[in-house]
Amino acid sequence: MRIAEFLSPQAVIADMQSRTKPEVLRELSATLVRAHPLLQEDRLVEVLREREKLGSTGIGEGVAIPHGKLPGMTQLQAAFGVSRAGVDFEAIDGKATHLFFALVAPENSAGVHLKALARISRLFKNPRFRASILEAPTTADIHALIIQEDARP
């Protein structure tokens, strides 16, 4: 599985405006809906909020992977956003979060969902890659960097 299969260029935000955790979830959900009009924004926000209640998806080093499962979806979808200012996302390391990778999977897709989470987590462990994303000026540049890094063996 490659990230290109579930992250479209239209679902990337180069400069998020959100300043709080709920705003981040709303902005990522709105972006997913713009890229995939059959999705419902309020339902997406609720699914992501419910998962956050179990514990923050802020994995540290400036990265968060909010995720959830949504009935009626046929395939995994994602949105990615960069917050230049950083947001308090209650990350495990207590640091501000700048890189947000939201995943929404079909309700009965544990394997795909977990593989995608593991792949994204592995990708964003690389400090040089995180820095290059933060320096990328446009959504097209950000998307290309993610796809290029994910294609490496």
Active-site annotation, residues: 67
Chain-centroid distance of CA 138 in Å reads: 17
Q: Which two tokens stand for residue 85?
A: 């200012």
Distance CA 89, CA 55 (A): 11
Residue 48 to residues 68, 105, 132, 153: CA-CA distances in angstroms?
6, 11, 27, 31
Question: 106-134 burial string, b = 16+ CB within 10 Å, else e?
Answer: beebeebbeebbeebeebbeeeebbebbe
